Chains A and B, each alone.
Chain A
Amino acid sequence: MEIRSKKITKVILTVVMIMIGIGSIFPFVFMILSAFKVESEVLQASFKLWPSEWILDNIKALFVSDYYDFMQWYRNTIIMTGTSLLLKFFFVSYTAYGFSKIKFKGRDLIFMILLAALMIPSDIMILPRYIIFKKIGILNTMWAIILPSLVDVYFVFLLRQAFISIPESLSEAARIDGCGHFRIYFKIIMPLAKPSVATMMLFSFVWIWNDYMSPYLYISDVSKQMLSVGIQLFATGQVLNYGVLMAGATLVLLPVIVIFIFAQNYFVEGVAASGVKG
C-alpha cells in the first residue's frame, strides 16, 4: 500500500512539475517558433503555436534593416564577451589563489572588505562610474563594461572556496620540489579546480552577454552598442513585423540557450556548491 501511494504521489508531482516546467519554457518556445511564422500568424485571435508554414524571411529581414546593423551588435557583443572571459579566466583565478593559498598579514581582513562590497547596490555606482570612465577615457567603448566585470567579487569568492578545498599537502609537495607559488597556481591548483573555473566561465558569459544597464548607460554610439540594448532599439524604433522581432530575440537568446543545454550540470552544480556554503 505504502509503496503504491508513494508511486502515485511521484506521478502526480511529476505532472505538476512538468506543467511548471512547460510554463517556464513556454515563452522561449513561443519565441523560437514565431521566428518562423508569417507575420499575421504570430498574434492572432485563435492562438496557434506551430507555424502553418515555415519561412526564413524573418531571419533574413534582421540583416537588411536600413536603420540598424544587427550584425554589428552581434559582433560587438561577441568581442566584448570573449575578451572579458579571457581576461577573467586568468585574472580572477590568479587573485583567488592569492586569497586562498598564500598566508600573509591582512589577507582575510581585505577579503572581508571585498565581500562586504557585494552588498552595495549597483545603482549607487552608475554615476560615479560614469565620471571615472570619462576621466580615463573608456566611455563609449566596451572596456567600460569589460573592466568592471573583472572585479566581480562573487567569482573571486567562488574560486577561493574551491581552491581552499584542495588539500594543502599537494602544494607542500610541490614546494619541496622547488616550485614557487605561481607555478603551483598554474600547474596544480587550476587543473584541479576545473569544475569551479568552468562554472565561473559559464556564469560570467551569461552575465556579460545579458548585461543591459552598462551598455545602455555607458555606450552612446548606436554602432558600438551591444545586443541587449540593440534588441530594445530594434523593437521600439521602427515599423516592424512581429515575426522579425521574434527572430531577433531568438538570435540574442540562442547562444545562451545552446550553451546552457550542453553545460547544464556545470551551471547547476556551480550554484549549489557556492550557495550552500553561504
Chain B
Amino acid sequence: MKKMRLLSLILVFTMAVNLFAGCTKADEDNSSQTTVDNGEATTETENGQETEDTSGKKYDGVTLKWAVTETGASTGENVELIEKIKEDLGINIEFTIVPTPKDGEIDRTLVSLMAGDELDIVYSATPSLKIYQSAGVLTPLDELAENMGYDMKEVFGENLPVFDGAVYGLPAYSDIWLTFYNKKVFDDAGVPYPEAEGWTWEKYIETAEKLTDIENGVWGSYMLDYNNYYYMYATQKGADAYKADGTANFDDPLYSEALKFFADLGNEKEIQPTMGMLAAGEYPWNAFAASDNIGMFVCGGWVTSLLKNHEKYPREWKAGILPMPYPEGSEASTLVVNGNYAIPTTSANKEAAFEAVKYMAENQYELGYGRVPARVNLSDEEITRYIEEELGADFVDDGITVEDFRAGWFDAERIPYPEKIIGTADTSINQIWFEEAQEYGLGIKPLEETMQSIQERSNRAIEEAKQ
C-alpha cells in the first residue's frame, strides 16, 4: 500500500513539473534573447564610448527585431535594407512576420506589444501609428534624438508624426497616390495614353469606358475596397471630416456624393468590378500587377514596388503612370500617407533601434523602389538626381519618363490630402465607413439612410472616445 502511494505521489509530481517546465521554457526562450541582446549592446556601447569609434559602428553585433507583414518580408526592398544596415551600422535585423490586418481584423503587432512581447522596430502608416500611441506602446523619440544631437525637425519637417506633443516615429517615405495603367490594354483598345495635365476623374471615367470590354474580361478601371476610397472624392473637394465643434461632418452633401461616385464606378458605369465582386474577395489586392486585363488602377505609390518586381509579377505588358485624378473644378490634388518607423516601449535596445530607424528613414528611398522620401532637407539637385538616376532607371523598360515621375510625385502645386481620416475616434469612423459603404454598394441600404447611419454612428464613436 505504502509503495503505491509513493508511486502515485511521484507521478503527480512529475506531471506537475512537466507542465510547468513547459510553461517556463517559453519564458526562458524569450528572456534569453533579451539578456543576450542587452549584454551585447552594453559591451558594445561601452566599447564605443571608450575608444573613439571611427567606423561609426557603435552598435555592431546588436540584433534587433522588426515586425513586418508577410508581403513586406518577401519584397526585395526590406531585405536589401537590412543588408545595408548590417553593412553600414553592423546591426543585425531579424524579421518577425505578422499578418496584414484588414479592416475589422486584429492588428497582431499591436496586440503583441500590449501583451509585452519584445519588438525593436515597427513600421506603420501615420493613422495606425496613432492607435499604437494611444495604446501606450510607443516610445517618444524626442529624448533619444536629443541625446544623439539629432535634429528631427530639420530632416523631416512637417512629416513627423506628432501626437500629444511628442514625436513618435520617423517618416521614411510619403506614399503618394498615382494612376497606374497597362499600356497593352490601351493599345488593344486603340486609346492613346492620357496626359498628366488636366487628368480629372471625369477624364478617367471617360477613358475607362473606352477600355472596358466585359466580354473579353477587360476592366478599364480597378480599385480596392479600402475604406478611404469611399470618401476620397469628398476629401479631394476639400471636405473636412470634422465640424468646427469636433462632431462628424458627414452630413455634408460632398460625402454622400463621394460614396455614390465610388459605388457607381462599378455598379452603374461598370468600368470596374462591382462592390459585390470586391466584397466577395474575387479580386485580390495585387490583381493589377498580377493580371493583364486591368486598364487602370488608382492606388498608393507602393504599387510601384510591385511593378518593379519582375520575379513575383512577371508581366508582358508595359506600365505607365499618371498623377491621381482629381475632381473637375477643384484644384489638382492627391492622397498622401506617410510610412513611419517607430520604436515600441518593449524594445530592450532603444538606442540601437533609434540608430537603425534613423538610418532607415533617411536612406530607404535610395534603394530605388520608387519611394518618395519624406525628408524635407533634400536639395533640388539631390531630388533631380534621384528621379533621373534611381526612379527613372527601374522603369526605363516600361517607358516611364522622368517627367511622369515629376508630375506624379514631385509636383509642388498639387495639394496633398491625407489618405485616411485622422482625428478623434478615427479607427471607429474608418471602420464605420467600411461597413456602411459596403451595405450601400451591395444595395442593402439606400444612399440617404447610409449617410445618416454613418453620421450617427460616427458621432456616437466620437462621444465615446471623449470619455
**Chain A residues packing against B (C-beta within 8 Å):** 66-68, 87, 90-91, 130, 134, 136-141, 143, 147, 178-183, 216-217, 220-223, 233, 236-240
Measured CA separation A272–B358 after assembly (Å): 65
Q: List 20 A-B contacts (CB under 8 A).
A: A66-B312, A67-B70, A67-B71, A68-B70, A134-B115, A136-B23, A137-B26, A138-B23, A147-B19, A178-B1, A180-B3, A180-B7, A180-B8, A182-B4, A182-B7, A217-B106, A220-B117, A221-B96, A222-B70, A236-B102
Total A-B residue contacts, Cβ distance less than 8 Å: 77
Partner of B15, one of A91, A134, A143, A222: A91
- B27 touching A137, Cβ below 8 Å: yes
- A140 touching B112, Cβ below 8 Å: yes
Chain A residue contacts of B97, Cβ below 8 A: 221-223
Q: Which of B42-77 contact A (CB under 8 A)?
A: 70-71, 74
- B74 touching A222, Cβ below 8 Å: no
CB distance from A72 to the nearest CB of B (A): 11
Partner of A181, one of B4, B22, B30, B106: B4
- Closest 6 pairs between A and B when the two form their complex, measured CB to CB: A180-B4, A182-B8, A137-B27, A67-B70, A220-B108, A141-B26
| Given A181-B8, A220-B112, A236 and B281 contact (CB-CB distance below 8 Å) | yes
B35 within 8 A of A: no
Write the B10-27 contact mask toward A (1 if CB under 8 angstroms, else 0).
Answer: 010001000100111011
Summarize B's interface: helix, strand, loop or mixed. helix
Measured CA separation A137–B115 after assembly (Å): 9
Query: Which A residue's beta carbon lies closest to that of B20?
Result: A136
A87-B19, A143-B23, A181-B8 given; 5 more Cβ-contact pairs under 8 Å: A90-B15, A130-B115, A143-B26, A220-B111, A222-B98
CB distance from A214 to the nearest CB of B (A): 13
CB distance from A230 to the nearest CB of B (A): 10
| Given A137-B27, A140-B112, A223-B97, A237 and B5 contact (CB-CB distance below 8 Å) | no
- A139 touching B4, Cβ below 8 Å: no
B165 within 8 A of A: no
Query: Which A residue's beta carbon lies closest to that of B27?
Result: A137
Query: Which A residue's beta carbon lies closest to that of B97?
Result: A222
Query: Which B residue's beta carbon lies closest to that of A219?
Result: B108
- A137 touching B30, Cβ below 8 Å: yes
B157 within 8 A of A: no
Measured CA separation A239–B229 after assembly (Å): 21
